[in-house]
Chains A and B, each alone.
Chain A
């Protein structure tokens, strides 16, 4: 089966000569649909670079990036933009909602850019807001929403339409831990509906919502968790009094 995202031997080098910085070294990573992968690592380990390359916002220096089996290097620039719009959703730390548009218009925009007719785009966008339980805020502008609501709208925008890959860079931003957990629940629910998700975070309690945690260090994937046993294994963990 084709993975939703596959990185093969991906390296990224910034600059050249003595100022050369190798941000990623021969990274191999596959993410399947219905899987949420968290990427953890210290500052400067390459987490955000990995995400921008996976989302084709940046090109790899070497190696292959495949989204739904399509090698991004083999398609034209315009096809790549189309693929990016249709297949990949992004959630950013600071939400990146357009301040002059309502919640609904923010979610509708990517569909309209992709040629979906206004009425159909509006219906689909409303459906996405409903899924995230913010449809009652559809007509509000971003500055009229709470932090948690803004991030819900941003996630709705990222999953609207037929997107199969959801990429999130520190998506809980400045939210408190309970609202941050709410965001992770939503990302998890989105992946359980068939999307593949990659989330970069430095907080272990948020990463623990992922099915798999990948550890980056100095641009290398050094380790990853194995599928955890069911939670019932904790309930017989013995006397804890």
Chain B
């Protein structure tokens, strides 16, 4: 979530005080993304420095109202159409955990995948509760919660796919101690038809 651009969008409606920007930001993102007033003022200072907003009053920061500049307008319009950064992918902690688990003998990777699957679905249940409590009319909240739910669902789908892929692997080779007792097998060679 880009806080600077969200604030610019709110300021397009007219000049506002920092405190009002904070409450409006929270209510319009379904109160799923908390934002403290300190962050609002720091962001406003940066926007002011870059010429994207300007203060309409003097004195303490809580007494200042801010309005968007024409440069701010252009920046907002550009940002809306600019695709978010999708590559390179973030280094995914869960993927790393599973890759590490595959290297450690004796770990039941399917059980490990299930532990993570349950945790993700429990988190999804909590998000769904937010939506269920709010009712169907709150579109902003539904959009925010859906984004989280589908992000989490993608993790579940990855876990499911990992489960199937690992199940299809050939059975692991016998442990080295058992192998040592077996007579040596000749190296397998490819048969070539005459």
Contact A209 B39 (CB under 8 A): no
Which residues on B sit within 8 Å (CB–CB) of A40? 121
Contact B121 A208 (CB under 8 A): yes
Task: Known A42-B164, A204-B153; judge A236-B124 contact (CB<8 A).
Answer: no
Residue from A42, A208, A222, A228 whose CB has the most chain B CB atoms within 10 Å: A208
Task: Known A42-B160, A42-B163, A204-B120; judge A235-B126 contact (CB<8 A).
Answer: no
Contact B114 A204 (CB under 8 A): no
Contact B132 A225 (CB under 8 A): no
Task: Known A42-B164, A185-B132; judge A236-B125 contact (CB<8 A).
Answer: no
Contact B34 A225 (CB under 8 A): no
Contact B130 A234 (CB under 8 A): yes
Please measure, in the bound complex, the distance between the C-alpha atom of A229 and the C-alpha atom of B129, giving whole angstroms: 10
Please measure, in the bound complex, the distance between the C-alpha atom of A217 and the C-alpha atom of B126, giving whole angstroms: 24
Asked if A240 is an interface residue, CB under 8 A from chain B, the answer is yes
Which residues on B sit within 8 Å (CB–CB) of A236? 34
> Residue A209 contacts which of B2, B128, B133, B153 (CB distance < 8 angstroms)?
B128
Which residues on B sit within 8 Å (CB–CB) of A92? none
Contact B121 A185 (CB under 8 A): no
Interface residues on A, range: 20 to 34
Which residues on A sit within 8 Å (CB–CB) of B124? 204-205, 207-208
Contact A228 B1 (CB under 8 A): no
Asked if B191 is an interface residue, CB under 8 A from chain A, the answer is no
Contact A215 B136 (CB under 8 A): no
In the complex, per-residue mask of B35-47: 1 if CB is within 8 Å of any chain A CB, else 0: 1000100000000
Please measure, in the bound complex, the distance between the C-alpha atom of A226 and the C-alpha atom of B126, giving whole angstroms: 11
Task: Known A42-B160, A204-B153, A205-B150; judge A188-B132 contact (CB<8 A).
Answer: yes
Residue in chain B with minimal CB distance to A226: B122
Task: Known A42-B164, A225-B122; judge A235-B149 contact (CB<8 A).
Answer: no
Asked if A223 is an interface residue, CB under 8 A from chain B, the answer is yes
In the complex, per-residue mask of A207-224: 1 if CB is within 8 Å of any chain B CB, else 0: 111100101010000111
**8 A-B pairs with least C-beta separation:** A208-B124, A231-B129, A231-B130, A204-B156, A208-B128, A228-B125, A204-B153, A208-B125
Q: List 29 A-B contacts (CB under 8 A).
A: A40-B121, A42-B163, A185-B132, A204-B157, A205-B149, A205-B153, A207-B124, A208-B124, A208-B127, A208-B128, A209-B132, A215-B118, A217-B114, A225-B118, A225-B121, A225-B122, A228-B122, A228-B126, A231-B126, A234-B32, A234-B127, A234-B130, A235-B34, A235-B130, A239-B34, A239-B39, A240-B1, A241-B1, A241-B33
